[in-house]
Structure 1
Amino acid sequence: MATPTDISHIELLAPAGSYEALHAAINAGADAVYFGVDGFNMRANSSAHLGLADIQEISTLCHQYNVKCYLALNTLVYDQNLEEMKQVIDAVKLAQVDAVIAFDLSTIAYAKSQGVEVHISTQHSISNIDAVKFFATWADRVVLARELTLKQIKSIVDVIKTQDIRGPKGRLVEVEIFVHGAMCVAVSGRCGMSLYMYNTSANCGSCSQPCRRAYTVTDKATGKQLDVDNEFVMSTEDLCTIGMLDEIVASGAVSLKVEGRGKPPEYVDVVIRCYKEALAAIGDGSCTKEKISQWNTRLGTVFNRGLSDGFYRGLAYKYWSQGSDSKATTKKVFVGTVLNYFPKLGVAEIRVQAEGFTAGEPCVFVGKTTGFVRQTPEEIWCNDTHVTTVNKGEDMTMQVTARVRRGDTFYKIMSAG
């Protein structure tokens, strides 16, 4: 049995690229979420379109459940965007969003001038204590460079404490690091390749991910091609630290961030639940190799390009994804749409529109307000008759353990093989 560890200061930070993912994060036990809005969203191509009007709604919802919310406003800002950026900061202040995650110095300066808490984006590649001291004038938290080792992270945290480095709010500068999700072949995500090749700027949230594609390397002088075992020479595997989470807690980082604002709600649900369980096990001393193996198996069921420990062990990328597609072991398949929900009975009525459904199959409901609800019904009904299978074109009913809503989409979970 491991020794219990104090985790009361640890924040598990979840991505919320849509309302469905936001509800999934809250229901899974996230301590905080981060989201973006149109115009300044680093996941503009893959997340839902959220605007100024959504800032207040998201903030109210999060605070209702005692969950902090941060707006990721970490794109470059050009002269023609300055006023719009200020409008977003003003909306953040009015909605009492807990902080903005910022990269551009104009954003950092304006947010501070308005009394809005600033967290420095990982895109600044903060890698040493002097950089932390510099940004402490502006920010209460720094998201350290992704390329640091755990030893380097712990050293920075230790010096923050010994030298009493504090941010504008008067508390010790906090350190945030990534613990799970996609990694970028460029240094802390600052890449010019997409802009050069497709005129879509990664630093303005429109990365076309040319690094995830296959290439043939050719010697221009001779025309000969380089024979490489893996054509996806720039596509890294995803970060997964659940097996070293005790070491990450010991590093002194207070916020553990999951990448994935472009990911679906089932990804958020599974990843946050696994890390939440792992943190609880570290806290009470019950973490074991068997549990870690089970968490890794569950994490492998949702989108991933293969899982690695990144740079935290002191190694550069040694794992490459062998492709751009997900290696998830399961997939969700659209079945139909919720017609009605009967709260007194806890029963959902579903129109089966695409795929048939069989009792005992794992399934999920997804909706803007519902978020993400996972079920495995042992019994289903059709026309008030207990049945084993419901076919396309029929209506079915089933008991659910949480409220679902008319119009929610209904999927079954199947093996991806």
Structure 2
Amino acid sequence: MTQKNKPELLAPAGDLERLRGALDYGADAVYLGRESFSMRAAASNFHSAEQLHEAVALAHQYGKKVYLTCNTLPRNEEIPTFPQFLREAQEAGADALILADLGLLATARKLAPDMEIHMSTQTGIVNYATCQALYDMGVKRAVLARELSLEEIAGIRAKIPAEMELEVFVHGAMCMSFSGRCLLSAYLTGRDANRGACAQPCRWNYHVVESKREGQYFPVEETDEGTYIFNAKDLCMIDHLQELLDAGVDSLKIEGRNKSAYYVAIITNAYRAALDAAMAGQPAPEWALREVVQVSHREYCTGFFYGRENAAQRYADSSYVRNCDVVAVVNRWEQGRLYLTQRNRFFAGDSLEIVAAGQPPVTVAAQGLENEDGESIETANHAMMQCSIACETAFPAGSVVRKPVE
């Protein structure tokens, strides 16, 4: 299928630092939330109208778009606050709203008729009839359910107006329930996943307790490997972007508003390189494929894109794989020295990797380590301390400095 427009790389922004990381490392658009109506209530978010204005203004300076999430399933008492939410979104200049609830959709069409609307994956869009119905209601983009295969996505694309855009998640955490509509957290903890407060009970280790054997716990095992029966692997489609584009996808979405600025920068950087390569008819660069394992992640899978059997669970445990620690962020390069803000401890002589936007990582040695007064030191061991190392190569401000985990 011929792509009618250049596909969009859409990255998460949980706060201003992560927003800058997404923009600096190649996102075409970002999605972010506020305290209310957000499926990531635990993220720092952009609470005030002033913070939202600042975020949108910054993105627009980069020539990038901002999509504001209001993708919860709100209860009665929340509905009266939505008109004010809409007004502030319009005043800030947000480029689109991401909605899941039909009542909010109707309100948005009435009170903000010029605002672009995207319907969230929480809506559970799995067929072309739903896409067409939403298009008829003024929706510009459908964020398809994660349970669809590539073949099903292509089938939807073939039967809906060319003007309606399709968005899919390509990387990040998967949910064990249908399109995130889970009651397990609300039932066990009182924290409603559908209103942004998921306690992630799918990651817990489960046992059975027999009523007459108090204190004796018996494992609940789906296989011999372990007892984490709901624990999904993470999604990673970096090596399959051309197939997504061939299926007619317009926007490739990275999950992770609760993830670190380092995670957002590295994953966005890798997918930027892979997407540019796919658009040129080339495979993803090898360095980009390696980068997705340099962030904290669960084991990867390809989700439902190639059938249900590939949407694998991780039964042994719910731990993350972590290969690197961020040790500093570059402030500037000047006269053969790289000036840094420390984030985690490192030592003089350590082998470090520096990742700049649009480039593969470069290995350097932490030679000539000095504190902010220019005094030689053996270790940078104070969080956010200013320090520098000798470095012949200039790296831009904001580049990430990391150290392999030993």
The match for 1:212 is 203
Listed as ranges, the matches of 1:3-402 within 5 Å are 8-48=5-45, 50-113=47-110, 114=112, 115-136=114-135, 137-160=137-160, 165=161, 172-217=163-208, 226-228=220-222, 229=224, 230-287=226-283, 291-292=285-286, 294-316=287-309, 318-321=311-314, 322-332=316-326, 355-359=345-349, 361-362=351-352, 378=365, 379-382=367-370, 389-390=378-379, 392=381, 396-398=387-389, 401-402=395-396
Distance 1:396 1:79, change over 3 A: same
Instruction: For residue 282 of structure 1, report the CA deviation from its aligned partner.
Output: 1.6
Q: Deviations over 1:326-367 (max 9, x none)?
A: 11322335x7x99xx6787696766879734324543679xx
Q: RMSD over aligned Cα, in angstroms?
A: 3.4
Report how far residue 85 of structure 1 moved.
1.9
**Cα distance change, pair 103–226 in 1 and its aligned pair in 2 (3 A):** closer
| TM-score for both structures, normalised by structure 1 | 0.82
C-alpha contact (below 8 Å) 1:219/1:226 kept by paired residues: no
Can you give the 5+ residue segments of structure 1 that lack an aligned partner in the other structure? 166-170, 366-373, 405-409
Aligned 8 A contact 2:380 2:387 in 1 = no
Cα pair distance change 1:53/1:106, threshold 3 Å: farther
Q: CA deviation at 1:50?
A: 3.2
Q: TM-score, normalised by structure 2?
A: 0.84
Percent of matched pairs sharing the same residue: 32
How far apart in 2 are the matches of 1:48 and 1:254? 26
Stretch moving more, 102-111 or 64-73? 102-111
Q: Shift in Å at residue 147 of structure 1?
A: 0.3
- Separation (CA, whole Å) in 2 of partners of 1:308 and 1:69: 28
Counterpart residue identity of residue 80, structure 1: E
Counterpart residue type for residue 79 of structure 2:
L
SS in 1 for 2:305: coil
| Bigger shift: residues 273-282 or 259-268 | 273-282
The number of residues matched between the two structures is 387
Give the number of the structure with larger relative contact order, counting CA–CA contacts within 8 Å between residues 6 or more apart: 1
Q: Report if aligned partners of 2:53, 2:92 keep a CA contact under 8 Å in 1.
A: yes
Q: For structure 2, which runs of at least 5 residues remain unmatched after alignment?
A: 356-360
Runs of 4+ aligned structure 1 residues displaced above 6 Å come to 219-224, 341-344, 351-354, 383-386
